[in-house]
Amino acid sequence: MRALSQRLANLGLADYLLALILVAGLLMRLLAPLTTRGLPFYDSWGYYGNVQTMLTSHVDPLFNYHDKQYYTELPLLNFVLYLVSSYTGISAFQVTKYLPPLLLTAVMIPSVAVITTRVTGRRDLGLVGALLFAISDVGSLRESYALPEGISIAVALTFVICLIKALDRRSPSWILLSGVLLLGVFSAHNLTPFMFLMISISVSVFMLKNQLVKLGYWLAAPITAAALFTSFTGLHHNIDNNPYSRYSQLLQLFFSHEKTIVTGKQFGNPLSGYITTQPLTYFFYLHIITVITLLLAIPFFAANIVKRPRNISTAVTEVWLILSGATFVLGVAGDSLFGSQNPFFGYRTWIYLMMPAAIAAAYTLIYFVNARPKRRVAAFAVVAVALILSVPPTVTFIRNTNYNFELDNAHDYLTSAWLRSHVAYGNYTVYSTDAFYGAANSTLNGVYDPHYFFNNISVIYANHTYYVVLSYSTLKYPFHNTGYVVPISHFYNPYFDRVYASETDWIFVYNPTLNSTQVPLG
């Protein structure tokens, strides 16, 4: 107790400011969950469903017990949510909704502050880096909802801190700890580990080049452990196929559109997959702080290309920035060239880039710190004004996005209520749209839970009566993937009776009595 009070007494202004930034970042991230009846964004629903299956059936729904592989997603996020829900007794829905923003804010913002402080050598600029990251929206906001990228990047950030400490202190123990964290990154998401594997390898090569041979070997150990861990466990199929096949798909797309790309006809608005009706300038307005952060990161990137990085932290950040920047360029170029066909979704690359970009942007501000007083004041005034101006559009962006989600959610609630009141337990099958296109092995679920129902509507009980549920959520999946789109007209035929319709949801009953050559299901 005394030690605690002593520690509290020793807190300085910088600590209080960091706490303030944490609160600001947390408010930004809680805005969507607090103002949405359902879960923010689409992805969370899937994880919520998984956790609920884990709680009720005590099986891992993502794990294929026959092949002993994870095919669709990796398990860490589900297990964290499941463990918290089962040990605390808080419902899976509340845990999925609130735990990721709380936990990831608490991990990521201080981590960015720590790394920025090490890179810049100044605590105040460390706080600026944390602030830029905390209130930026495009990348850093979305990652803080239930999304595997989020948890894997949170682990990866602590991995980078360990790596920097290990290199700074030439300490194998920090390298071993970083190795454990690297395994965490590999169990969380399929694309993120690839980037951090490459960061580790680049840093090892960098050590060898500087004749730190033994340390290079130490650093090779966790990379090798992660490679073995991936290859000989259930993670193998997902990690060994996903990132590399996406790169190859992108290359194939590129070469199949070679001529139109060269003539410039292939290029389109990279944002068309996300906001179809708004121009690029409006996007920049909505995301002022992100745009400023990226612009400020450019001098750091250029300076460290031209000259050698002056310390280990800077070198690691530069490697990180280059790799995430290259992925970003690939993602945005892919969105621009191929739109919804791009296998490298752009949103993910924003998430990857925002962290090193915030650190690099804070570093760039050193030049202003050392400028003459008048210029210094002017530069910081510009940054402060930009920060203040960025808050309303960011909030507008979050509110607008979530208004649409909330609208869908409201209709989905009504639909599930209708199903609950009109369809009793018995001999029937309910198909969702994705049951028709590839996801026919949807989870078997006996629980009538409106939350779960939204994005996992393929609830199969028996085989007598077939209900088909179409919902806007599944028809217009956010990152248009043709696999999810089912033309509604498909169901306006004699073999289907429409029994329910709202603005965004439709329920049809398959009528088996007409003849035996009707439209096949599934």
Q: Do 313 and 164 contact (CB within 8 A), yes or no?
A: yes
Q: Where are the alpha helices (DSSP H) in 36-121?
A: 43-57, 76-88, 92-120
Of the candidate residues 83, 228, 382, 385, the single one contacting another protein (CB under 8 A): 228
Question: Which parts of 349-368 interact with another protein (CB under 8 A)?
Answer: 366
CB of 320 to another protein, least distance (A): 18
168 binds another protein (CB under 8 A): yes
Question: Which parts of 85-144 interact with another protein (CB under 8 A)?
Answer: 120-124
205 binds another protein (CB under 8 A): yes
The DSSP H or E segment spanning 160 is helix 148-169
Closest C-alpha to 147, from 83, 198, 97? 97
20-28, 77-85, 230-238, 350-358 -> range binding another protein (CB under 8 A): 230-238
Instruction: List the structure tokens of 333.
Output: 């170029």
444 binds another protein (CB under 8 A): no
370 binds another protein (CB under 8 A): yes
Closest C-alpha to 31, from 399, 289, 283? 399
Question: Which parts of 305-334 interact with another protein (CB under 8 A)?
Answer: 308, 310-312
236 binds another protein (CB under 8 A): yes
Could you write out the DSSP letters of every residue in 222-270? HHHHHHHHHHTSTTHHHHHHHHHHHHHHHHHHHHHTHHHHHHTTT---T
Of the candidate residues 27, 35, 102, 172, the single one contacting another protein (CB under 8 A): 172
- Give the Cα separation of 456 and 474 in Å (integer): 9
Binding-residue total with another protein (CB under 8 A): 48
CB of 93 to another protein, least distance (A): 35
Question: Which parts of 245-274 interact with another protein (CB under 8 A)?
Answer: 245
CB of 244 to another protein, least distance (A): 5
Of the candidate residues 81, 181, 197, 359, the single one contacting another protein (CB under 8 A): 197
Tokens 């520690």, located at residue: 7
Residue 106: exposure state from Cβ atoms within 10 A (0-12, 13-18, ≥19): middle
CB contact set of 145 (below 8 Å; sequence gap of 6+)? 32, 33, 39, 40, 41, 43, 44, 100, 101
CB of 305 to another protein, least distance (A): 17
- Give the Cα separation of 306 and 227 in Å (integer): 33
- Give the Cα separation of 500 and 431 in Å (integer): 14
Q: Do 398 and 144 contact (CB within 8 A), yes or no?
A: no
Of the candidate residues 56, 224, 396, 493, the single one contacting another protein (CB under 8 A): 224
299 binds another protein (CB under 8 A): no
5 binds another protein (CB under 8 A): no
Of 373 and 520, CB closest to another protein: 373
Of the candidate residues 37, 214, 375, 420, the single one contacting another protein (CB under 8 A): 214
36-44, 196-204, 413-421, 480-488 -> range binding another protein (CB under 8 A): 196-204
Q: Do 234 and 322 contact (CB within 8 A), yes or no?
A: no
Of 5 and 370, CB closest to another protein: 370
Binding residues for another protein, per CB under 8 A? 10, 12, 120-124, 168-172, 193, 197, 201, 204-205, 208, 210-218, 220, 223-224, 226-228, 230-231, 236, 239-241, 244-245, 308, 310-312, 366, 369-370
